[in-house]
């Protein structure tokens, strides 16, 4: 690689202009920095002509991976603002990398040492090196685990830190992350995206690989348990956490099952995950939940994402938790000023990477300084996890904050504001300078700590300077460090000649995940049935459809949905809404339980909770339902023609079919798939019962086109036509839709499928059928014995009492099936409730 | 006011908590601070906890503050949980110093700040904000008004207690278990726990160590009436560090120095550290809770 850029280098052909003399691409003289030269000169690299195709490829790769982003901003508020990915990596010069990696490694060692002391002997306090208020008054100090020694004295199994370059080019530490560090999942995923954008260049430039880092991480996590095949769970607080996406990504890559608090239970000093096959012991929890929330019995009693008794299990050595429960203590911002002394004492070395200047108001002189320089400083909470001060600061108007400094006392720090340097990002076709910070990742290893040779770059609004105080990330980027020589490849795949037990089942299926899969099946089917009904009815109403059904038949067909949506009864003193207006409500009213917006929400909600079990393209297919729903929402305005709904409804059905196909073709037939399919079958069976009941039970007249309508709604018109040359007649239609086990739309087919799934799920007990099988088997037998001639027989009034009786019965039984299966399989997924604390009251004597 | 007491009193304490659920519970787990603590002024002769249904597993431990904790898992299907504690305790109050002779409050702070031995750290941890103890300028101003320079610590602490007792109304309906101190200050109402928290906040805002004590108080029936069964209750008060005299317990609810009718369960930084029963259920729907406490003095 050329070490020097040509002297007459014209950057104008890049049209890149740095904001000032602190830019990663250009040096103080406005010339290209040498370590960017190869990437710049190569036509496949920074080439501006590639901007459009680069963006297109990146967008495509993102879609394929079903990645959307949520970030936590500097104030730790979760925000829905998506964090985009930039196609231009940050390239670090070798000397910078050298400095940062040594500094990060030292910092992890140091903070681990500090934790070992503070959760043990507390020499640092006794010898006066740390003020007691910083530890004993710190909400991050978890007293319940004081004295618990983790294996090998490792408290930080992974660790990350945010760094930024200062005005003189040297690096400063902004913040440490010692609890949930799954953001490394984003670094990994950025790298995989870059691999797709620059397939040859990453190899030719010797970009250091990340795989070894993750392998080291995986090995030390597995070693924690001391078992051959430990059960390792990624313990998360669920999809509401802005970090969930990174967690799911990392868990999928490392092969860990995702588990939320309610999936786990402490029994007899150990932790178990509730699965379909009962309780399975968890050996290691990769903790992504803040410590104070981890145990409602011994830590914060109001937590609803905790595992009751987790602290007891940890003390009992019944489960290993990484990072250790108390590790959040070293996220304390107020530690900054003590780092040089701590480093000398604990490691007997000089601190390599200094912190941004920080004044902790727990010390009188620092408090005075903060008061005097209030406007020049960034004021924040001193302790991580101090929600009270955090909230109070947010609520306090800026002009009153100075006056209220005394209210917070030692809970406050003032921090220097440092202007951030810039690095190029792609904005449209142009390269623009954007302020950035870099997050470095460290993992514990057998020989201390290893640093990820790269990291996660967070960059802010392009074209504008920002300081550490007002920086807010909008984009993330990959970070490249270039090895002087090609590296050996490391892969996470095990050695091919190693010994592995053959299995045909995958990860444990948590009861909650099975429950969600079951509901995902129900919601997708419900959405599809509603779409089909709407499409048929709207097309017929607008004279455009191929079905010339009578308006009365159309209204009858739509009745079950209208009824469930509560749209059949008129409000007091008012006429019922006109039929087309009610259809609009079904398409677009988010307030109505069974209307499409809620069906789609149901699909996305349940899918989001089992994201780690769905392949990215499958998830993306479901996500696109939301786009179609957005189109449908226009119908809430009456001037919009109902007809315009048809394309969106068609597209929604295509997406749902695609999802069904992917589930059919790509999911192994494990219990997860069985639950998904049972949900779908149950919902379809219920839907069929309703439309048959509406269209065939009470009406003797068959001349209004309702049989054709029924066949269309049941997607069986073609099948009928292929068998019978006549126009539809009651008996053959009933046979096809009710009794024919070869027709995938028939009620008999749904029951037969559910029955066969249930048989696969559980070994049969010796004497009795389990209740859910008893129920389905009963229904199926009744159908098999039914005679279509009797069912289609109408009495003098034109109604069919036998059919009515059967459908009525079936509906009641199938509605009972959901709760029955929940009792049999999801009983472990019961809601955990915190008991009321008895008030402490004693009257005055 | 200095009195040497040599009285020894014995009590039987019975504390029964009953949870009734509307739907069956498959598992309930309870973490308890429900065993009286032996202290220089209190000897625990016997103490036991029983549950119904019987606990499948039972774990005892000591918490960071030296209190005994018990974790019980009840894993039979049940619609009701009963937790009963029975103890026999001897109380022999230790001598209370004459408040006028106690150290000047600023000297206590000065003295503590110069030491960092293990014992000293154990005291200093009660100087700071904690989950339920917050303070601001308002709390500080209130506390300062009773602690002019040169005030002996116990004189100031008792004046603050007297103030809380006189200007706050005891009201079982006004607050909940988790009502913050700011609200108590505004409402000027609360229960023993609120008054204890408020006094602790006041003392800590000055930099003085103060801890929260959970326990029981023997109550006296009104003149001419029989003592009702189960009418006693859990109680909470404050312990303040008085330098060489050690910890002295003050009961702001009743405006008195704790003597021989208080029985100590546990202490910590605030209620959250030593809540008598912290429980979760799996399933169970809604639930109601009933507490009965009897503190019965025994003839010697």
Closest-CA distance of chain B to residue A271, Å:
13
Q: Chain A interface, mutation test: which of B141, B180, B278, most A Cβ atoms within 10 Å?
A: B278
Q: Of B201, B104, B212, B109, which Cα lies nearest the Cα of B156?
A: B104
Q: What are phi and psi of B299, to 5 degrees?
A: -70, 145
Integer Cα distance of A707 and A705 in angstroms: 6
- Contact list in A for residue B194 (CB cut-off 8 A) is none
Whether residues B238 and B167 fall in one domain: yes
Closest-CA distance of chain A to residue B125, Å:
5
Tell if the CB–CB gap between A840 and B176 is shorter than 8 Å.
no
Domain presence at residue A62: no
Tell if the CB–CB gap between B121 and A308 is shorter than 8 Å.
no
Search chain A and give the residue with CA nearest B284: A833
Whether residues B76 and B119 fall in one domain: no
pLDDT at residue A336, as a whole number: 94
Ranges in chain A, pLDDT < 50: 1-10, 68-81, 495, 841-845
pLDDT at residue A840, as a whole number: 54
Q: Of B29, B31, B34, which Cα lies nearest the Cα of B67?
A: B34
pLDDT at residue A657, as a whole number: 94
Whether residues B59 and B182 fall in one domain: no
Whether residues A650 and A690 fall in one domain: no
- Is residue A428 helix, strand or coil? coil
Helix (H) or strand (E) holding A619: helix A616-632
Integer Cα distance of B100 and B133 in angstroms: 28
Whether residues B82 and B216 fall in one domain: no
Whether residues B82 and B205 fall in one domain: no
Whether residues A651 and A762 fall in one domain: no
Whether residues A524 and A619 fall in one domain: yes
Whether residues A638 and A651 fall in one domain: yes
Whether residues A663 and A728 fall in one domain: no
Domain presence at residue A481: no
Whether residues A563 and A576 fall in one domain: yes
Tell if the CB–CB gap between A143 and B64 is shorter than 8 Å.
yes
- Contact list in B for residue A301 (CB cut-off 8 A) is 272, 275, 278
Domain presence at residue A468: no
Whether residues B188 and B119 fall in one domain: yes
Let me know: does A202 contact A185? Beta carbons within 8 Å. Answer: no
pLDDT at residue B176, as a whole number: 82
**Where would I find the beta strands (DSSP E) of B67-209?**
68-74, 78-91, 169-170, 189-190
* DSSP secondary structure of A429-475: TEEEEEEEEEEEEEEEETTEEEE-SSEEEEE-STTS--BTTT----E
Tell if the CB–CB gap between A297 and B280 is shorter than 8 Å.
yes
Q: Does the CB of B128 have a partner CB in chain A at under 8 Å?
A: yes
Domain boundary among A667, A698, A728: A667
Search chain B and give the residue with CA nearest A129: B116
Q: What is the pLDDT along chain B (300 residues), one digit of tens a residue?
A: 444 445 789 999 999 999 999 888 888 999 999 999 999 999 999 999 999 999 988 999 999 999 999 999 998 888 999 999 999 999 998 889 999 999 999 999 999 998 889 999 999 999 999 999 988 889 999 999 999 999 999 999 999 999 999 999 988 888 887 788 888 989 999 889 999 999 999 999 999 999 999 999 988 877 777 776 666 778 999 999 999 999 999 999 999 999 888 999 999 999 999 999 999 998 777 889 999 999 999 976
Whether residues A657 and A678 fall in one domain: no
Search chain A and give the residue with CA nearest B292: A838
- CATH number where B211 lies: 3.10.620.30
Tell if the CB–CB gap between A841 and B116 is shorter than 8 Å.
no
- CATH number where B54 lies: 2.60.40.2250
pLDDT at residue B197, as a whole number: 96
- pLDDT tens column, B277-289: 999 998 777 889 9
Tell if the CB–CB gap between A836 and B117 is shorter than 8 Å.
no
Domain boundary among A607, A642, A667: A667
Q: Does the CB of A830 have a partner CB in chain B at under 8 Å?
A: yes
Q: Does the CB of A122 have a partner CB in chain B at under 8 Å?
A: yes
Domain presence at residue B2: no
Indicate the residue of A128, A137, A312 with minimum beta-carbon distance to B129.
A137
Integer Cα distance of A593 and B176 in angstroms: 35
Q: Report the number of distinct structural domains present in chain B.
A: 2
pLDDT at residue A505, as a whole number: 53
Q: What is the largest CA-CA distance in chain A?
A: 101
Write the Ramachandran bin of A835: left for phi over 0, alpha for psi from -120 to 50, otherwise beta: beta
The vertex-A229 CA angle with A225 and A234, nearest 5°, equals: 65
Indicate the residue of A830, A835, A841 with minimum beta-carbon distance to B279.
A835
pLDDT at residue B3, as a whole number: 46
Q: Does the CB of B29 have a partner CB in chain A at under 8 Å?
A: yes
Domain that holds residue A796: 671-830
Q: Is A802 exposed, middle or buried (0-12, 13-18, 19+ CB in 10 A)?
A: middle
Residue with tokens 């709904």: A645
Search chain A and give the residue with CA nearest B16: A838
Question: What angle in degrees, to the nearest 10, is found between the helix axes of A339-346 and A94-118?
Answer: 80
Domain boundary among A667, A682, A697: A667
The two tokens of residue A7 are 């002297």
Domain presence at residue A211: no
Domain presence at residue B4: no
Whether residues B133 and B43 fall in one domain: no
Strands A320-322 and A284-287, sheet pairing? parallel
Closest-CA distance of chain B to residue A845, Å:
6
Let me know: does A645 contact A635? Beta carbons within 8 Å. Answer: yes
- Is residue A532 helix, strand or coil? helix
Interface of B with A in 163-202 (CB under 8 A): 170, 172, 176-178, 191-193
Q: What is the dihedral of CA B116, B120, B121, B126, to 10 degrees?
A: -140
pLDDT at residue A551, as a whole number: 74
pLDDT at residue A16, as a whole number: 84
Domain that holds residue B122: 99-274
- Contact list in B for residue A841 (CB cut-off 8 A) is 172, 191-192, 233-234
Domain presence at residue A425: no
Let me know: does A622 contact A610? Beta carbons within 8 Å. Answer: no
Positive/negative CA dihedral, B184, B185, B191, B196: positive
Q: Report the number of distinct structural domains present in chain A.
A: 3
- pLDDT tens column, A295-314: 999 999 888 899 999 999 99
Whether residues A748 and A779 fall in one domain: yes
pLDDT at residue A120, as a whole number: 96
Domain presence at residue A602: yes
pTM of the predicted model as reported, rounded to 2 decimal places? 0.83
Whether residues A661 and A677 fall in one domain: no
Domain presence at residue A731: yes
Indicate the residue of B56, B59, B281 with minimum beta-carbon distance to A833.
B281
Domain presence at residue B1: no
Terminal alpha carbon distance of chain A: 87
pLDDT at residue B200, as a whole number: 98
Integer Cα distance of B158 and A391 in angstroms: 33
Whether residues A383 and A367 fall in one domain: yes
Residues in chain B: 300
Whether residues A662 and A711 fall in one domain: no
- Contact list in B for residue A139 (CB cut-off 8 A) is 131
Interface of A with B in 300-329 (CB under 8 A): 300-302, 308-309, 312, 315-316
Q: Does the CB of B144 have a partner CB in chain A at under 8 Å?
A: no
- Contact list in A for residue B57 (CB cut-off 8 A) is 267-269
Whether residues B207 and B218 fall in one domain: yes
pLDDT at residue A842, as a whole number: 46
- Contact list in A for residue B237 (CB cut-off 8 A) is none
Tell if the CB–CB gap between A841 and B125 is shorter than 8 Å.
no
Q: Does the CB of B66 have a partner CB in chain A at under 8 Å?
A: no
Q: Chain B interface, mutation test: which of A121, A148, A266, A841, most B Cβ atoms within 10 Å?
A: A841
Domain presence at residue A460: no
Whether residues B22 and B117 fall in one domain: no
Whether residues B164 and B41 fall in one domain: no
The answer to whether ipTM exceeds 0.90 is yes
Tell if the CB–CB gap between A136 and B128 is shorter than 8 Å.
yes
Q: Chain A interface, mutation test: which of B69, B128, B141, most A Cβ atoms within 10 Å?
A: B128
Whether residues B233 and B282 fall in one domain: no
Indicate the residue of A137, A308, A315 with minimum beta-carbon distance to B280.
A308
pLDDT at residue A3, as a whole number: 38
Q: Does the CB of A131 have a partner CB in chain B at under 8 Å?
A: no
pLDDT at residue A74, as a whole number: 34
Q: Chain B interface, mutation test: which of A363, A835, A836, most B Cβ atoms within 10 Å?
A: A835
Whether residues B268 and B286 fall in one domain: no
pLDDT at residue A439, as a whole number: 97
Q: Chain B interface, mutation test: which of A117, A120, A305, A308, most B Cβ atoms within 10 Å?
A: A308
Whether residues A621 and A725 fall in one domain: no
pLDDT at residue B1, as a whole number: 41
Q: Does the CB of B225 have a partner CB in chain A at under 8 Å?
A: no
């Amino acid at each position: 690689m050329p070490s020097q850029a040509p002297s007459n280098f014209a950057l104008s052909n890049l049209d890149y202009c740095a904001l000032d003399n602190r830019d990663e691409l250009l040096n103080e003289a406005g010339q290209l920095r040498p370590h960017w030269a190869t990437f710049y000169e190569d036509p496949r690299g920074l080439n501006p002509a590639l901007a459009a195709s680069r963006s297109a490829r990146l967008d495509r790769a993102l879609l394929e991976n079903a990645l959307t982003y949520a970030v936590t901003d500097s104030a730790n508020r979760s925000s829905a603002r998506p964090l985009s990915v930039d196609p231009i990596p940050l390239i670090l010069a070798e000397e910078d990398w050298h400095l940062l990696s040594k500094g990060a490694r030292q910092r992890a060692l140091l903070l681990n040492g500090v934790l070992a002391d503070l959760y043990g002997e507390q020499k640092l306090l006794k010898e006066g090196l740390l003020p007691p208020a910083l530890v004993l008054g710190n909400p991050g100090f978890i007293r319940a685990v004081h004295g618990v020694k983790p294996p090998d004295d490792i408290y930080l199994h992974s660790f990350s830190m945010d760094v930024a370059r200062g005005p003189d080019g040297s690096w400063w530490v902004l913040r440490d992350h010692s609890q949930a560090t799954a953001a490394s999942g984003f670094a990994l995923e950025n790298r995989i995206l870059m691999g797709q954008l620059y397939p040859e260049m990453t190899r030719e430039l010797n970009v250091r690989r990340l795989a070894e880092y993750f392998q080291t991480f995986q090995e030390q996590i597995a070693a924690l348990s001391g078992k051959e095949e430990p059960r390792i769970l990624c313990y998360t607080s669920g999809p509401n956490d802005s970090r969930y996406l990174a967690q799911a990504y990392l868990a999928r890559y490392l092969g860990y099952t995702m588990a939320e608090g309610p999936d786990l239970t402490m029994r007899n000093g150990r932790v178990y995950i509730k699965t379909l096959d009962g309780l399975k012991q968890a050996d290691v929890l990769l903790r992504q939940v803040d410590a104070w929330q981890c145990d409602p019995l011994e830590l914060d009693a109001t937590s609803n994402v905790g595992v009751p008794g987790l602290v007891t299990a940890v003390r009992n050595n019944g489960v290993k938790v990484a990072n250790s429960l108390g590790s959040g203590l070293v996220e304390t911002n107020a530690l900054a000023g003590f780092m040089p002394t701590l480093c000398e004492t604990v490691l007997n070395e000089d601190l390599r990477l200094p912190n941004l200047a920080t004044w902790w108001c727990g010390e009188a002189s620092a408090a005075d300084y903060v008061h005097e320089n209030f406007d020049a400083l960034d004021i924040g909470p001193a302790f991580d996890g101090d929600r009270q001060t955090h909230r109070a600061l947010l609520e306090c108007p800026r002009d009153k904050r100075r006056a209220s400094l005394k209210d917070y006392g030692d809970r406050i720090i003032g921090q220097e504001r440092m202007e951030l340097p810039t690095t190029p990002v792609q904005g449209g076709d142009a390269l623009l300078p954007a302020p950035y910070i870099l997050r470095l990742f460290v993992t514990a290893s057998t020989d201390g700590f290893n640093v990820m040779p790269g990291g996660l770059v967070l960059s802010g609004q392009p074209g504008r300077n920002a300081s550490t105080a007002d920086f807010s990330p909008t984009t993330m980027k990959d970070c490249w460090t270039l090895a002087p020589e090609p590296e050996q490849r490391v892969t996470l795949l095990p050695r091919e000649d190693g010994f592995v037990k053959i299995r045909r089942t995958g990860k444990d299926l948590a009861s909650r995940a099975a429950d969600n899969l079951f509901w995902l099946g129900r919601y997708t089917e419900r959405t599809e049935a509603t779409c089909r009904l709407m499409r048929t009815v709207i097309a017929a109403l607008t004279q455009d459809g191929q079905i010339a059904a009578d308006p009365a038949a159309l209204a009858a067909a739509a009745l079950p949905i209208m009824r469930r949506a509560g749209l059949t009864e008129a409000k007091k003193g008012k006429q019922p809404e006109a039929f087309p207006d009610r259809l609009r409500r079904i398409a677009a009213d988010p307030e109505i339980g069974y209307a499409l917006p809620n069906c789609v929400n149901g699909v996305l909600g349940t899918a989001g909770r089992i994201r780690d079990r769905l392949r990215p393209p499958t998830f993306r297919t479901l996500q696109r339902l939301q786009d179609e729903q957005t189109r449908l929402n226009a119908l809430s305005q009456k001037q919009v023609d109902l007809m315009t709904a048809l394309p969106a409804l068609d597209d929604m059905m295509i997406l749902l079919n695609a999802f069904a196909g992917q589930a059919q073709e790509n999911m192994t037939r494990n219990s997860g798939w069985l639950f998904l399919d049972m949900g779908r079958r149950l919902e379809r069976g219920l839907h069929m019962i309703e439309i048959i009941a509406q269209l065939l039970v009470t009406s003797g007249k068959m001349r209004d086109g309702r049989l054709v309508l029924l066949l269309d709604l049941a997607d069986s018109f073609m099948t009928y036509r292929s068998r019978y040359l006549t126009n539809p007649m009651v008996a053959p239609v009933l046979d096809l839709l009710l009794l024919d086990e070869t027709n995938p739309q028939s009620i008999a087919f749904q029951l037969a499928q559910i029955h066969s799934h249930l048989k696969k799920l559980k070994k049969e007990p010796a004497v009795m059928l389990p209740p859910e099988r008893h129920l389905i088997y009963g229904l199926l037998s009744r159908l098999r014995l039914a005679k279509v001639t009797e069912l289609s027989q109408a009495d003098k009034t034109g109604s069919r009492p036998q059919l009515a009786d059967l459908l009525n019965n079936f509906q009641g039984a199938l509605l009972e099936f959901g709760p029955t299966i929940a009792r049999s399989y999801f009983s472990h997924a019961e809601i955990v409730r915190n008991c009321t604390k008895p008030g402490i009251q004693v009257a005055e004597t | 006011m200095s009195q040497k007491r040599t009285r020894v009193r014995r009590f039987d304490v019975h504390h029964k908590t009953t949870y009734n659920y509307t739907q069956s519970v498959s598992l309930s787990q309870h973490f308890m601070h429900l065993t009286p603590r032996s202290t220089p002024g209190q000897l625990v002769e016997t103490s036991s906890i029983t549950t119904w249904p019987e606990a499948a597993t039972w774990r005892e431990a000591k918490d960071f503050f030296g209190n005994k904790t018990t974790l019980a898992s009840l894993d039979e299907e049940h619609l009701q949980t009963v937790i009963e504690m029975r103890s026999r305790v001897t109380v022999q109050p230790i001598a209370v110093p004459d408040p006028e002779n106690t150290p000047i409050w600023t000297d206590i702070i000065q003295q503590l700040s110069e030491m960092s031995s293990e014992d000293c750290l154990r005291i200093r941890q009660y100087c700071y904000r904690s989950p339920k103890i917050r303070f601001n300028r308002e709390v500080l101003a209130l506390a300062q008004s009773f602690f002019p320079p040169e005030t002996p610590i116990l004189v100031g602490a008792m004046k603050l207690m007297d103030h809380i007792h006189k200007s706050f109304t005891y009201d079982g309906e006004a607050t909940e278990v988790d009502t913050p101190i700011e609200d108590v200050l505004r409402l000027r109402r609360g229960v023993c726990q609120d008054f204890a928290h408020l006094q602790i906040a006041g003392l800590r805002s000055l930099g003085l160590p103060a801890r929260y004590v959970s326990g029981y108080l023997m109550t006296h029936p009104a003149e001419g009436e029989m003592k009702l069964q189960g009418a006693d209750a859990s109680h909470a008060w404050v312990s303040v560090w008085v330098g060489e005299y050690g910890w002295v317990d003050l009961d702001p609810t009743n405006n008195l120095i704790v003597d021989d009718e208080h029985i100590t369960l546990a202490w910590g930084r605030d209620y959250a550290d030593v809540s008598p029963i912290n429980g979760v259920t799996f399933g169970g729907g809604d639930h109601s809770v009933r507490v009965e406490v009897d503190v019965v003095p025994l003839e010697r």
